[in-house]
Each structure stands twice: as C-alpha cells, then as structure tokens.
Amino acid sequence: MSLELQNIVKRVGADTHIYETSLKLEPRSFNVLLGTTLAGKTTLMQLIAGIQKPTSGKIFFKGRDVTGAAVQKRNVSMVYQQFINYPNFNVYDNIASPLRVAGMEAVEIERRVGKAAELLRLGPMLKRKPSELSGGQQQRTAIARALVKDSDIILLDEPLANLDYKLREELRDELPKLFADRDAIVVYATTEPNEALLFGGNTATMHEGHITQFGPTSSTYRKPHDLLTAQVFSEPPMNTAKVEKRGNQLTIFGNQKWPIGQAGSKLPDGNYMIGVRPYNVSPNKDGKALGSFDAEVLVTEISGSESVIHTRIDNSTWISQSHGIHALPLGSQAKLYVDIDQAMFFDANNRLVS
Amino acid sequence: MKNLSRYVPVLYVTFLMIPIYWLLNMSFKTTNEILGGFTLYPHNFTLASYQTILTDPSWYSGYINSIEYVVINTVISVAVALPAAYAFSRYRFLGDKHLFFWLLSNRMAPPAVFALPVFQLYSQIGLFDTPWAVALSHTLFNIPLAVWILEGFMSGVPKELDETAYVDGYSFPRFFFRIFIPTIAAGIGVACFFCFMFSWVELLLAKTLTSVAAKPIAAIMTKTASASGYQLGLLAAAGALTLIPGAVVIYFVRNYIAKGFALGRV
C-alpha cells in the first residue's frame, strides 16, 4: 500500500514548480509536508492526487504505475485550505456525495455519513447548507467528506490555516485521532513547524520546489541534514552566523569569542556556519556552555509567559525565545546568552557537520 | 431641508413614472378622447383596446412571435455561453484574452451594421420571416454578453471546487451539471435576464428580418396608422402589455442582479 514518487518533475511553462523529487510514503503513515508558501506543497499534493500530471517521472501505488491514472480512479480524498463544499448540497449530501458517486447502497451511505458526522460533531447541522455554517463547521464538513470513503490516500492542504485560533487548536487536537485507525496514507501540508512537531509521523521539509529532507519528524527536527532544512523547520526562524573555530574557541560576529561547547568540540578547526534555535538564546544566564553578545533590541513580542526578542547584531537578526516577561525597550542594548551545546554547525556547503 | 431629502426621491420617481402613467392613461381611453383634448384620467373608461389585442390574432400573434424568438435566443445564448465561459474562467490557452475581448467587441457595433448582411443571408437560405431568424441574429450580441457575465460568476467559484469533485469521483459532465451549474445559478439567471432584455427591446433587426408571419409586437406597436385610421388607444394598450414580461422577469432576478454588480460584472 505504499506510495512512491520516482524522479517527479513538474514544470509549467518556463517555471519549475517541482524539481526532480523522489519520495516513498509508507502505508498507514502520517506525513507532513512542511514549507513556506510557494514551496510546492500544493503542487506535490495535486500530483499525488492526479489533479496535475507530472512533466516527467513516475508515481507508483502498491507497486502499480498510476502516473497516467485519472483522479477519479485513484481513490484519494482531499481537504483544502479554503473551505470547499458543494454549496447547493446540504451538509448530509455533501458528506454523502463521494459515496453516492461510487454507487453505494443507501443504507450503507446513511450509516457512514452518520458515523462521520458524529465523529466531527456535525450531527445537528446535517440539514443546513454550507453557507449557513461557521468556518470551523464548514471545514469539518470537508474533513467528514474526506473521511467517509475508504480512501487510500488522504491529502490535507493546510486545512487549519484559515480557521481562527481557538478552532485551529481544537481541530488540531482532533485530527490525529481521526486518522489514527485508518488504513490510509495521510499527507498533511503546513507552513507551521509547530504543527509538524505536534503531529509527529514523518516530515518532508520543502523549499522552492525541492524536498530538502524526509524522515521521522523528530529526527528531521533534531538532526537536519542541511541549513535549509533547519531553517524551514524552525519557528521563530533559526539564528545563523559565520563562525571560525580555533581549538576550544569560536569567533563570531567578527570579534566575539565564545567557548566551543559540546556540539562543535570534535570539529576540525576552520570556518563554519552556526545555527542556533531561538529558544537556546535567552536574556537569562541559565545554560551550561554560554556564549553571549550585546545586541540592539528591534522588537519584543510578549505572549503570556513567553518573550520573543528580535535583536540586531553585526547586520543580522538574532531572535531569542525565552520564558518569562522580558519587556526590553525598543532600541536598547540587551545582553543575550546562547546555549552553544545545542548549536548546529554547517560546513561551506551548508551540510550539517555537528 | 430635512423634508427636501424626502421629497426629492418622491419627485424623481414621479417624474420617471409620468410616461408610464400616460401610456396606461391612454390605454383606457377611446381614441376620440385621446385626440379630443387634454384629460388627466380617462373620462370614458374602456377596456376595449385590451379586448381587441387579446382577441385579434394580428395583435396577439405579435406577442407570441416576440416571446418565441426571445426564448429561443435566450436558450441558445446561455447554452452556448456556458461552456465558453467555463473555458475562459478555468483554462489558459493561446490567445484567450484576445478572444475574450474580441467577443465583447461584437457588442460595440450597432445592430444596424448587421441588418443588411443578415437580411440578405437569411433571405437566401429561407430563414427570413421566422422566429429563428431574429433569435439567431440576436445571439450575435447576446452570446458575448452572456459569456462575459457567466465568466465573472464562474471565476468567483474557486477551482478547488472542481478539483474536490474530481477527487470525490465525479466525472466532468456530472460535476458540471450536478454541482457547477447549481452553484452559479444566480449568474445564469442574470445572463438570461440580460439576453431576454436585449432581445425583447431590440427593434431594428427584429423588424428587418420579419414581414408577416413572425412580426414582433414592437414592430406592430410602432405602426401609428392602420387601415382604420389612428388607433392610439390600441397602441397604448399594446405598449402597456409589452411592459409586463419585462416586469415579471425583473421581479424574479432582482436579488441576483445585485449579486452580479457585486461581482464586478453586469
């Protein structure tokens, strides 16, 4: 039941939307496509669904070549970011529509729609038209329609992006449970690294039409192969700077000296790119191997118990994400401490070396 | 000043209603009264004019002819415009923008330009003096209009709806007729309305392309004198009846027209 993309390329006119990509999705797996807007997530999903055909390359499902197969023959479900429902059908008919098209018996349709509606708490809304529902209910209807048939592949294209915060949280908690006991490959596209971490499963990080890395979510997060993956998979964005390693010392921001820390201790001397996640930068001196720097505060975002401080140092922006309220005035100088043990080192080709 | 803001619209509407009132006024008078002097309301109230129109085939056949070609025209125009508008809204093809503009440019020519060639052509192929002649000649103006209106409504429907339907297993025809057409029903209503309107009020082509058998009501109505002299009451009654279909159609599409405006079309 695995799905395999082999050397898929998608070009539209002079633009390449997907560069040569190979990807193998295991049966019963939850896969996250993580990347910014225009990274190619939607295109990749449409290629999997069969809505678009690849310019070259092949797609195999259960070992069978389905590259040329029509969408209707692929047994996939798809949920879009926009709340897409059939406006002339009520909620019941919307959910029932894929089953009706497949020619299922009325009794079975009723049983399945009832179950899906119950799962997504749409019971009281079945007689309403989509236009009479809230955004959250509309998206639940779309998800119910995707669940109601036994799809081999379920594609979710940023399904939560257009929902407001509370609803997003709520549905985000429910989604993995809905798909947990399904014999299907689930592909979930998102722009938010935190969503990928929350769902677990596998993550493919995407950047400008390339899949930069694919693997179990936690290892993709902790051990990105290259700088690009680390950057895609970091929110707030990862802090980077050029460093020079000499013995037990790092030279950063031109002239600052930092201890080497555990991560880089085994590296040969030379020039590297250092990557530090924002939560390893703090105005509190509580880490172990500490580097520090003085920077100008650009913006401070305080959300409840957490502070995100944007600073400018040596013509680049470094971001600190820490517990506690640090209301630093705009334009002031702040001293920030870096947990170098947790830093990542990349070589001249931006490959992770430590 | 406060009162003025209330009176201005009242005055304006009254002003607009004067010709219609005068038409109705005349239609209930005898021709003698109309020609006899200035009367604000019918002194000798009569329904004779209406009776004549509804019983005399030379009058009521005009309505039947008109309705016939208007309906044929509306059906053809919208049926042809639906797939065309879908193509313009969903696909990018070579020269699509130019083609779209060219379609619209058909509306820029006055109907008089087409009167002669169409008359000559239809005479040769035996279409002259049939409802089809008028219906077909009106499609020249109505198809571009319908394509333009429908394209606006169709582009308002996200293409993800099409994709969702295919993913759910719908074939294209099934999706188009079961989901897409109901979704843009308002647009189809608006397009029908405009096709109806143009075809119903257009006089030049309708008059040129018919003689006896398919003569439209507008042509009958505008002949001021007949064998029996001036029949102004009759003409006024015919005019009043001609307003009715338009009013009925407007009543049905009044809510959709606003939607059409909101979508930047119409």
Q: Do A49 and B163 touch (CB under 8 A)?
A: yes
Interchain CB contact of A97 with B (< 8 Å): yes
Interchain CB contact of A353 with B (< 8 Å): no
Specify whether A150 is located in the same domain as A289.
no
Q: So what's the pLDDT on residue A289?
A: 62
Specify whether A184 is located in the same domain as A205.
yes
CA–CA separation, B25 and B27 (whole Å):
5
* φ/ψ bin of A310: left (φ > 0), alpha (ψ from -120 to 50), beta (otherwise): beta
User: Minimum mean pLDDT among B64-68, B201-205, B257-261: which range?
Assistant: B257-261
Q: So what's the pLDDT on residue B136?
A: 93
The CATH number of the domain holding residue A263 is 2.40.50.140
Count of structural domains, chain A: 2
Give Cα B15 to chain centroid, integer Å.
24
Facing B166 at nearest CB: one of A72, A80, A86: A72
CA–CA separation, B249 and A166 (whole Å):
46
Q: Which residue of A has its CA nearest to B182?
A: A88
A70-103 pLDDT per residue, tens: 888 889 999 999 999 999 999 999 999 999 999 9
Specify whether A26 is located in the same domain as A168.
yes
Interchain CB contact of B183 with A (< 8 Å): yes
Interchain CB contact of A12 with B (< 8 Å): no
ipTM (interface predicted TM):
0.84
Helix ranges (DSSP H) in chain A? 41-49, 91-101, 106-119, 135-148, 165-180, 193-199, 217-222, 227-232, 261-264
CA–CA separation, A343 and A275 (whole Å):
6
Interchain CB contact of B179 with A (< 8 Å): yes
pLDDT bracket for residue B172 (50, 70, 90): very high
Within chain A, strands assigned E span 3-12, 15-25, 30-34, 56-61, 64-65, 76-79, 153-157, 185-190, 202-207, 210-216, 239-246, 249-252, 256-259, 270-276, 281-282, 290-303, 306-313, 316-323, 333-339, 344-346
Specify whether A63 is located in the same domain as A131.
yes
Q: Which DSSP letter does residue A268 get?
A: P
Specify whether A129 is located in the same domain as A223.
yes
User: How many CB atoms sit inside 10 A of residue A95's CB?
Assistant: 31
Interchain CB contact of B172 with A (< 8 Å): no
Specify whether A111 is located in the same domain as A223.
yes
Specify whether A249 is located in the same domain as A208.
no
Q: Give the pLDDT of chain A (354 residues) as one tens digit per residue.
A: 789 999 999 998 889 999 999 999 988 889 999 998 888 999 999 999 999 999 999 999 988 899 988 888 889 999 999 999 999 999 999 999 999 999 999 999 999 999 989 888 888 989 999 999 988 899 999 999 998 988 999 999 999 888 888 888 888 888 888 887 788 899 999 999 988 998 888 999 999 999 999 999 989 998 898 888 988 898 888 998 888 888 888 888 888 888 888 787 888 888 888 999 998 888 888 766 688 888 889 988 888 888 899 998 888 889 999 888 888 888 888 888 888 888 888 988 888 887
CA distance B164 to chain A (A): 7
Specify whether A226 is located in the same domain as A283.
no
In a domain, A223, yes or no: yes
A130-147 pLDDT per residue, tens: 999 988 899 999 999 998
Last residue of a domain, one of A232, A259, A281: A232
Specify whether A209 is located in the same domain as A74.
yes
Specify whether A104 is located in the same domain as A28.
yes
Q: Please give the residue range of the domain that contains residue A220.
A: 3-232
Facing A84 at nearest CB: one of B161, B171, B174: B161
The CATH number of the domain holding residue A160 is 3.40.50.300
User: What is this structure's pTM?
Assistant: 0.82
Specify whether A27 is located in the same domain as A107.
yes
B176-210 pLDDT per residue, tens: 999 999 999 888 988 998 899 889 988 888 888 98
Angle formed by the axes of helices B185-201 and B232-262, to 10°?
150
> Which residue ranges make up each domain of chain B?
57-222+238-262
Helix, strand or coil for residue A253? coil
Instruction: Report yes or no: A54 and A9 within 8 Å, Cβ to Cβ.
Output: yes
pLDDT at residue B264 greater than cutoff 60: no
CA distance A69 to chain B (A): 12
A291-330 pLDDT per residue, tens: 888 888 998 888 888 889 999 888 888 999 988 888 888 8
Domain B57-222+238-262, CATH number (from 1.10.760.10, 3.90.1150.170, 1.10.3720.10, 3.90.226.10): 1.10.3720.10
pLDDT at residue B228 greater than cutoff 70: no
Q: Which residue of B has its CA nearest to A75?
A: B167
